[in-house]
A = this chain, B = another copy of it.
Amino acid sequence: MFAPRRIQHCRACGASTAYRVPADDNRERAICGTCGEIHYENPINVVGTVPVWGDQVLLCRRAIEPRHGLWTLPAGFMELGETTAEGALRETDEEAGARVELEGLFTMLNVVRAGQVHLFYRARMLDTRLDPGPETLEAQLFRENEIPWDQIAFRTVRQTLEHYFADRRSGAFGVHVGDVA
């Protein structure tokens, strides 16, 4: 996952940068000592889905670090040139090879320590064909009582799954906003 990297050199001219507060600002930014370029660093979005087939949810077992071998919902970094929904669909295709139809934003979870916001959409699977990509060891459908709760890769995935099953029992799906410490 992402951790803010300290910027040592200017992206415009390559000279050394130093962290200080610009004149009209109140936070330290990496500023170029030669050309004056100011480098802003901001949280980034992770976008994914809760793919559902009947009473089952699709999870992917990670083939990459961090959390190699643990289970996750399909999700990854949002890219320039796409919407949050397009990114969620792309990750669902890349990681699981699943064909889904989005059914609405479901969770927005802040992970401040990682500088991330995780956004999950509910998604209806159109069939059960799967074709996991290189980042996934295997993709598998789970009923609620089969979920490997002690092998979930990320807390935002755990919270999203918990919200999903709770809302399904209540009969109404909301949008859940929260923070992960």
* A interface residues (Cβ-Cβ under 8 A, vs B): 4-5, 7-16, 24, 27, 30, 39-45, 77-85, 104-105, 108, 110, 112, 115, 117, 119, 134, 175, 177, 179
Contacts and interface: CB of A to CB of B under 8 A. Distances in A.
A161 B99 CA distance: 35
A2 B138 CA distance: 38
A10 B4 contact: no
Contacts of A11: 5, 7-9, 11, 30, 39
Nearest to A110: B83
A117 B42 contact: no
Which are the 9 A-B pairs with shortest beta-carbon distances?
A9-B14, A14-B14, A83-B110, A175-B175, A42-B44, A7-B11, A80-B115, A105-B177, A83-B179
Contacts of A82: 112
A77 B16 CA distance: 25
Nearest to A5: B11
Nearest to A104: B177
A77 B43 CA distance: 9
A9 B12 contact: yes
Contacts of A8: 11-14
Contacts of A84: 108, 110, 117, 177
Given A40-B77, A175-B175, A134 B13 contact: no
A180 B44 CA distance: 19
A43 B43 contact: no
Contacts of A41: 80
A173 B42 CA distance: 29
A117 B7 CA distance: 24
